[in-house]
Amino acid sequence: MGVPRNLEETAIFQVQALGYKPKDVKYIIQTHLHIDHAWGLADFPWAEVHVHATEYQAIQNPKGFMEFAYIQYHWDHQPRWVRHKESMVDWFGLEAIPILETPEYDFLFIPLHGHTRGHCGVAIGKPGSWLLHCGDAASPFYRGADLHNRDKSVQKLNILPKSLANRILGDHMPRLRKILEEHGDEVKAISAHDIFSFWEYTSL
Ligand SMILES: [Zn+2]
């Protein structure tokens, strides 16, 4: 949101900057399909696109003001959708849906519906070391926000009235905060628009 329209910031450029070929991207896992999360999909038409089944239903028939932010031409190229629904495992007290397993990392959908009907977080890691990408279900919400207060205009984003925050993000913050408090040695968290965590994890 508000990013410069600079091609070098697109996913396909950043993948190549890391030394990979675009075709190395075989799987894309979407927390949800809002405009600011899905715009690069057409650059990877060969990749499997993993979504929660309810999110897939939502883009077919958007409802309510939060679902105005789907742009139908983002999937005109007919992505190779993989839809997930079954809740099969427990992840720190939350329901989790296994998506993919690799020797290094497991990938799980953590349903955090509310921002959109099928919105999910994505847990990435192995037992003992996880990163939870909260998508748009959380604003900056832990100590890092104070430690990295470089820009007061950014921190204002934290001061959403609770009712508005619940409407925009869903009501998951207490559960997410509890996981970080109780399992902070095993779980890190970041959300899609969380510049504070980004600074912390990348040491920029
Ligand atoms: Zn969103």
Beta-bridge mates of residue 91? 94
- In the reported structure, the alpha carbon of residue 105 is separated from the centroid of ligand 1 by a whole-number distance in angstroms of 25
- In the reported structure, the alpha carbon of residue 115 is separated from the centroid of ligand 1 by a whole-number distance in angstroms of 7
Three-state SS at 157: helix
| pLDDT averaged over every residue in the chain | 86
- In the reported structure, the alpha carbon of residue 134 is separated from the centroid of ligand 1 by a whole-number distance in angstroms of 11
Q: Where are the beta strands (DSSP E) in 58-128?
A: 80-84, 89-91, 94-101, 106-111, 120-126
- In the reported structure, the alpha carbon of residue 10 is separated from the centroid of ligand 1 by a whole-number distance in angstroms of 17
Edge-first strand listing for the sheet containing 89-91: 89-91, 94-101, 106-111, 120-126, 129-133, 187-190
Q: Where are the domains of the chain?
A: 7-202
- In the reported structure, the alpha carbon of residue 132 is separated from the centroid of ligand 1 by a whole-number distance in angstroms of 16
- In the reported structure, the alpha carbon of residue 171 is separated from the centroid of ligand 1 by a whole-number distance in angstroms of 14
- In the reported structure, the alpha carbon of residue 119 is separated from the centroid of ligand 1 by a whole-number distance in angstroms of 8
Counting beta carbons within 10 angstroms of the beta carbon of residue 137, is it exposed (0 to 12), middle (13 to 18) or buried (19 or more)? buried
> Residue 147: what pLDDT?
44
Residue ranges of alpha helices (H) inside the chain are: 11-17, 35-38, 53-60, 144-147, 152-155, 162-169, 173-183, 195-202
CATH, range 7-202: 3.60.15.10
Q: How far is CA 31 from CA 67, 117, 118, 186, in A?
A: 14, 11, 8, 21
Whether 56 contacts 32, CB under 8 Å? no
Reported as a single tens digit per residue, the pLDDT across 17-46 is: 999 999 999 999 999 999 999 999 999 999
Task: Return all residues near 130 (Cβ < 8 A) that are at least 6 apart.
Answer: 123, 124, 186, 187, 188
Counting beta carbons within 10 angstroms of the beta carbon of residue 170, is it exposed (0 to 12), middle (13 to 18) or buried (19 or more)? buried
Number of Cβ within a 10 Å radius of residue 66: 20
- In the reported structure, the alpha carbon of residue 20 is separated from the centroid of ligand 1 by a whole-number distance in angstroms of 27
Confidence of residue 155 (pLDDT cuts 50, 70, 90): very low
> Residue 113: what pLDDT?
93
Reported as a single tens digit per residue, the pLDDT across 159-193 is: 566 677 777 777 888 888 889 889 989 998 888 87
- In the reported structure, the alpha carbon of residue 70 is separated from the centroid of ligand 1 by a whole-number distance in angstroms of 9
Distance in angstroms (rounded) separating the CA atoms of residues 42 and 114: 26
Task: Return all residues near 6 (Cβ < 8 A) that are at least 6 apart.
Answer: none
- In the reported structure, the alpha carbon of residue 37 is separated from the centroid of ligand 1 by a whole-number distance in angstroms of 7
Confidence of residue 142 (pLDDT cuts 50, 70, 90): very low
Which position has the higher pLDDT, 142 or 77? 77
- In the reported structure, the alpha carbon of residue 103 is separated from the centroid of ligand 1 by a whole-number distance in angstroms of 30
- In the reported structure, the alpha carbon of residue 34 is separated from the centroid of ligand 1 by a whole-number distance in angstroms of 5
- In the reported structure, the alpha carbon of residue 32 is separated from the centroid of ligand 1 by a whole-number distance in angstroms of 7
- In the reported structure, the alpha carbon of residue 136 is separated from the centroid of ligand 1 by a whole-number distance in angstroms of 5
